[in-house]
Structure 1
């Protein structure tokens, strides 16, 4: 068994005990604030039932991927409602209920029952996190259910891709074996070239998926968390409702972008608009959500651009604005798109706190991802900043017209 498989086996065997123990420990410190006496008395038998269930699952192997399918399904279908009961008694038992997201695919529940089980876990998690606040519960359930279905679809697509690649690799290996017999003197060189091509393809696909997930799903989730936090902090019902509506819209937008990432399509903002219109709307929406003044300026003669050029510049602008919202503490932001003969430039400037580009290493995927996107189009991204004097991000790419 490889290291990954052994770690997975240990998690399924011992993880439930760890999460149950952690949730119970936190519960003991929140009894007076969150639980009635009846709920406290009911929690003991429920926890004992969970321990007995896991003892049985560990003894029979029902909690492991190589266990008997019938026992594994019984284990999962008992644990899921038990986790909901515990979360109902104390919201912190949602720490234990999160197990339902990790191991659904291993118990061969089938498509229908698998999705129902995932949605049941989503209900449990949303209830535990909303603390009885029903509008917040509805928004959190939409978020959890959307992410559940998105990642189920992504996982299924990844499995299909792995199977297709495995079949392709087997076919290539068979062809290589026959070729080796005829060209034995070139076998070593041929094998090396095939391996390099395969690794290059995998590496390029990983970079593309990393960039898409960071620029779409991660940014949408950041916005959702911000809006839900604002909703939970305000006492005004109308203001809370507005924040929840924005969170729901962001969740739906993230879901759409995730589907487009799977199909390798252009950003949603470019579906009906050209780059200048999409950038203007993006800046306006960001300004509204960040409550920071942001202006968009267009210079030069507008001409149709290649789809990849438009998508790249829009993603760079979105990432630059996201970084500004997270780190800059700016009061004003300017975004300028300039058509300059044989190249097009995008400048994003703010009057925030700035930083020293030479002293500070880039955090996360943002700056690295922007440069990688521009370099794929033979372009560049330059960062100018100084502590206390704001930041300027300038992207330049060749102006390639739409075919």
Structure 2
């Protein structure tokens, strides 16, 4: 049957589910390394400020203060208060917005300025907090546009190296030249990474979203293809039922026409002895033959037999 044959063949040459699976595997293998890098970078951005702040705080209270505990007040208390403020600043200005993906350019810039102010204040108590200042390099990657990121790297480098080299007083020309060289090289090296990240990371994240959408669309197309195949098969079965119903109708119509003809002939020959019985016998044979053909061609006959043995013909099958 032609319709059924069409329904059994895929409409688009290859199975949509196979295409979706192969495309998904290819995209995952091609982007897996990049996605892993993005995840590692996100974790690093979240963890680094806390790790550096904890390290600097432990180093300060272990090494910077006297072993006997002298000098814990007031410097130690002030540093502890600044550490608590820094922790709250990192939590509400950096960690929570990043986890919720709500970090915006203006709040990121405000957080960076506050971070540098806290680092400078902490380094007035001990140079060991330059370790915490390194967090400014990592946060500079989050500043947008990328020019602000480079400015953030420059600021962090000036604060960090200025405190280490003590250039805020009256530095010698050699120290100042060394300071400028270090700041320039450091800003250029880290700034290149910021420029590359600013250009490639958004594209990679958009590409990842597009791949997810493509996979979802392919799976949806596979479902639609399965529905089309099912509809084609159902259409073919419906056509077959209609064809069988037409054949049964024609057969029954011919049989009933023959029965009527024989009965009419029997009525006309009722006056002639023997001919009436012959016409009635022929009509009976035609009726039995028509009933046999109807039972043989009815696709619903077996399933429509009830528990009592009586056959019924619902509207769907009768049509």
TM-score (norm 2): 0.42
Higher relative contact order (CA 8 A, sep 6+): 2
Question: Which structure shows the higher strand fraction?
Answer: 1
Question: Which structure shows the higher helix fraction?
Answer: 2
TM-score (norm 1): 0.34
